[in-house]
Structure 1
Amino acid sequence: MRARGEATLLFIAVLAFGFVLLIPASFTGIVYAGGLDVSPSENGEGPNVVNSPVRVVGIKFAQVDGRAQVIIGTTAICNYKTALLKQPDRLVIDIDNATIAMTKRDPIIVDDGLVRRIRMAQFSANVARIVIDLSLSAGYVIRAREGTSNGLIVSFNREIQDVSFQDISGRSAVTITGTGDLTPRVMTLKSPDRIVIDIPEATLLHEPFTIPVDHALIKQVRVSQNTKDVVRIVVDTKGDLGFDIVKQEDKPGRIVIDFGYLVKGVDIATHESKTRVVIKTTGHPGRSIRYLDDLKLLVIDIENSQLETSGTTKVVKDGVINQVEITQFRPRIVRVAIHLPYYLGHSEVDTGRPDEIALDIVRSPLLEKVIVVDPGHGGSDPGAIGPSGLQEKFVTLDIALRLARLLELAGAKVLLTRADDRFVSLPDRVALVNRNNADLFVSVHVNSFTDLYPSGAETFYFDNVPESKRLADLVQDGLVRESEVNNRKAKNRELYVLREARVPACLVEVAFISNFEEEMLLMRPDFRQKAAQGIYWGILSFFSGKPVPVVQLNMVQPNNIGFEGLREYN
């Protein structure tokens, strides 16, 4: 038989039918790189099977993609036998009809963790022996060298050098350190709860071992050589446990099973002007905080975290918080949901502890306050009319509805003198205030003048109630700051609704509808929203006893935005 054009002797029984040669399937111990060239002999007789002598001309060690490799160079293809022996661990390769042709035959010292050294010797006249001394028994494959070079490549499994459990700054992880591009297979199993990580084509460079773990949700980590080619890491847990598998690009031999942080619970403390919520964690996890207006819910999602205990609910009902729920929202996200009767704002607080997430939720000074909001004019009384035909009664109703919604969100009880396009007399407006023992009265109007040029906002008060001036000043400041119109100041004026109301009261002239530019502003929903917010901040500052910082509010749509007078402008 010819292999690579050379006559080669086969020590096997074959059957020949003409030019067809049948070779038994058991013929697997002889390596023929490049395939078999089967042809008649030159003298026309059956095929000559010749076994050419082989010389071993070189041996070297290399690390390729995390695998220890022993490369054996020969002068021809070769027949070999292998044996993986114990005490001491070693791989023996006998090459038949071969001689060692190397002048230097000293052992090659490796000590890479798996391969200790490589020895070579002429075992007998026809057998060259290569012995690879190992630190422990390991899986391997042997293949022929590719290309034009003859010989063998012995390739061992990738190595698992270490497995450790770490808790760094409150974040727990199992780290697997090995060689090459490790590709884990992960299973989550029940009864008992455990996470199984199998590393294929890998050898553990240790005896099986167990890592005891002091963790609320992890019992221990077990490491073993599950089969000759699979290293198995088992994380015994105390229930379901979320995790991420992280392969570090700059360290291809490292895999991190990241369990993240623990969320241990929530503490709540009620103060005069706020309620503080402190979330206890084991580190400094990332989080997102948002308020869901339609649910009156402040939501804190804590990332890369696991709840230490089962979900809990704390009932508070202190006038700021109704209750707090803490749940494992997703495998890696703990959610703290704070149910509120209203929402005025919150701020994160640095407690000086990196393992705490603290929020102060503002107690509303408007809670349970009765506030009468009066949209000026209405019904048969259109109020002032702008150059383009915009009627005051529709503008004031829209702004008043927006203002009422903001006040309600802050916990106030709001009474409207009208909630649609109807006429209400001045005495009836004032009667609503006095009959309900209101805490405050605000009447919403827009200004007008025979001249088209006057512009800006002004707020009127009457000094029969001492606090009315302070209210008017604060409302005027908030209105100008939010709407950015000309400041015409707060002014004392005896108007019926201000004189007859027995509570702090003001009448707001938002802008001049007679001024074409300001009429255009009044047609815009965003401007009307800003006007409502400005009045709202003034009222809030009045009850808090000090100016309140401006924060961004979402657009609040009136409950009845579809009234005809503004439909064409919205």
Structure 2
Amino acid sequence: MKLAPFYRSFLWILFLLSSFSGIAQQPIAPLAGKVICLDPGHGGTADTDQYRVGLAGEREEWINLRVGLVLKRLLEKAGATVLMTRESDLLVSLADRAEMAVANKADMFVSIHHNATADRSVNFPIVYFHGSAEENLAGVRLAKLIGDSFVASMFKGQSELSVVSDFAIFPNSGAGVLRGTYGIPAVVAEASFFSDPKEEKRLRRRSYNQKEAKAYFEAISAFFSHSADLPILEKKQPLTLTPFLVFQEAERMSPEAKNWHGNFMEGKKIVDDQSIELFDKALDLLTLSVKSFPDSPVAGVAHDYRARVLEALGKEADAEQERRRRRHFYPQW
């Protein structure tokens, strides 16, 4: 049956309107045209570095690179331009890594890492931003998105998460690659701990590397969809705080450092019980916990307790330092 000319025209107009409406409703790809610098951490040091290796022999720099290469493909498929600081097991200086992002006017810098500690039962994500949480708003938001994505994907929602300033672990100046890229939304992300034997086994699997890369991809997409306009202010606050010196690499693998959580719990109990006569001991325990594991999930709370103890001991200026350290280096949600 033939349709009347008027009816045919009416249907055609409806089709065009619905087509244009559909086009208008299509989301603009958040990654199209973005320049993203991926930095697979370390590399080229297998003969000289015996710290970044698991019990079964898997090296951190190998895992970092596998994840980075998968993430590169995902980002490019979504329309981003991806810069890689390395694409093989190559040693690249921290300064050169940061300079690549700055020279190419990158919209984001993501340094891909995996972690290790003396306590082999520890396994959770840590993501670092540079400087102060109250100044580097974009960095904090990117760190939280990536950390939450790790927890949801790699840990099935069952994990603690640390989002922490790099000044917590490098108290004099922060991490080199983040210091060198300040002004660009940037993070150093430690997705999990290869020092945990079960996690090391998972990290050797390509499918697990792909899962991690997808977690990064989803967080990066979410950042450019909703948070790309957050500011990064001039860095001032970290330089006003007295550096809190902490254990570095090999020191954090010592038996003393392994009891970071036990020391925290014992110190916390003394304060909670208001055992004033033991407050000097509590301060020592809480301080040792933070020095041993300054980026642990309880480190920020330990600084809160340290501030309470210092205030009770009549050291108000020191207590205020710790309250400010907590606020700037350990963001709360």
Q: Which range, TM-score by smaller chain? A: 0.5 to 0.7
Q: By how many angstroms is 1:215 displaced?
A: 5.4
Aligned 8 A contact 1:373 1:415 in 2 = yes
Letter in 1 for 2:176: Y
| 2:195 is the counterpart of 1:407 | no
Secondary structure at the aligned position of 1:438 is classed as: coil
1:192-221 Cα shifts (integer Å, max 9, x gaps) = xxxxxxxxxxxxxxxxxxxxx3159xxxxx
Larger strand proportion, structure 1 or 2? 1
What are the equivalent positions in structure 2 for 1:288-299 lying under 5 Å apart? none
What are the equivalent positions in structure 2 for 1:37-116 lying under 5 Å apart? none
Q: Which residue of 2 aligns with 1:417?
A: 85
Give the Cα–Cα distance (whole angstroms) in 2 for the partners of residues 268 and 432 of structure 1.
43
Q: Which residue of 2 aligns with 1:527?
A: 208
Residues matched between the structures, number: 206
Q: By how many angstroms is 1:511 displaced?
A: 0.9
Give the Cα–Cα distance (whole angstroms) in 2 for the partners of residues 362 and 469 of structure 1.
25
Give the Cα–Cα distance (whole angstroms) in 2 for the partners of residues 374 and 539 of structure 1.
14
| 2:178 is the counterpart of 1:498 | yes
Give the Cα–Cα distance (whole angstroms) in 1 for the partners of residues 94 and 23 of structure 2.
41
Q: Which residue of 2 aligns with 1:470?
A: 141
Aligned 8 A contact 1:275 1:363 in 2 = no
Give the Cα–Cα distance (whole angstroms) in 1 for the partners of residues 225 and 70 of structure 2.
21
Q: By how many angstroms is 1:422 displaced?
A: 1.1
Letter in 2 for 1:364: A
Q: By how many angstroms is 1:476 displaced?
A: 0.7
Give the Cα–Cα distance (whole angstroms) in 2 for the partners of residues 215 and 466 of structure 1.
61
Aligned 8 A contact 1:458 1:487 in 2 = no
| 2:56 is the counterpart of 1:388 | yes
Q: Which residue of 2 aligns with 1:21?
A: none
Give the Cα–Cα distance (whole angstroms) in 2 for the partners of residues 460 and 506 of structure 1.
5
RMSD: 2.8
Letter in 1 for 2:109: F
TM, length-normalised to structure 1? 0.34
TM, length-normalised to structure 2? 0.57
Letter in 1 for 2:137: P
Give the Cα–Cα distance (whole angstroms) in 2 for the partners of residues 491 and 449 of structure 1.
17
Q: By how many angstroms is 1:451 displaced?
A: 2.4
Q: Which residue of 2 aligns with 1:133?
A: none
Of all paired residues, the percent bearing the same amino acid is: 34
Letter in 1 for 2:146: V
What are the equivalent positions in structure 2 for 1:234-383 lying under 5 Å apart? 268-269=19-20, 275-276=23-24, 360-380=25-45
Q: Which residue of 1 aligns with 2:151?
A: 480
Structure whose CA Rg is larger: 1
1:430 alignment partner, one of 98, 110, 118: 98
| 2:109 is the counterpart of 1:441 | yes
Aligned 8 A contact 2:142 2:219 in 1 = yes
Q: By how many angstroms is 1:398 displaced?
A: 0.7
Q: By how many angstroms is 1:488 displaced?
A: 2.4
Letter in 2 for 1:496: G
Letter in 2 for 1:374: D
Letter in 2 for 1:532: A
Larger relative contact order (CA 8 Å, sep ≥ 6): 2
Q: Which residue of 2 aligns with 1:508?
A: 189
Give the Cα–Cα distance (whole angstroms) in 2 for the partners of residues 519 and 429 of structure 1.
26
Secondary structure at the aligned position of 1:414 is classed as: strand
Letter in 2 for 1:535: Y
Q: Would the alpha carbon gap of residues 450 and 420 (structure 1) be closer, same or farther in structure 2, given more than 3 Å must change? A: same
Q: By how many angstroms is 1:408 displaced?
A: 1.2
Give the Cα–Cα distance (whole angstroms) in 1 for the partners of residues 178 and 141 of structure 2.
14
Secondary structure at the aligned position of 1:526 is classed as: helix
Aligned 8 A contact 2:38 2:82 in 1 = yes
Q: Which residue of 2 aligns with 1:398?
A: 66
1:246-290 Cα shifts (integer Å, max 9, x gaps) = xxxxxxxxxxxxxxxx9x9666438xxx834xxxxxxxxxxxxxx
Aligned 8 A contact 2:202 2:208 in 1 = yes
Aligned 8 A contact 2:151 2:161 in 1 = no
Aligned 8 A contact 1:453 1:515 in 2 = yes
Give the Cα–Cα distance (whole angstroms) in 1 for the partners of residues 139 and 196 of structure 2.
28
User: Which consecutive unaligned segments of at least 5 residues does structure 2 have?
Assistant: 5-11, 167-173, 229-333
Aligned 8 A contact 2:141 2:227 in 1 = no
What are the equivalent positions in structure 2 for 1:140-289 lying under 5 Å apart? 213-214=1-2, 268-269=19-20, 275-276=23-24
Aligned 8 A contact 1:374 1:429 in 2 = yes
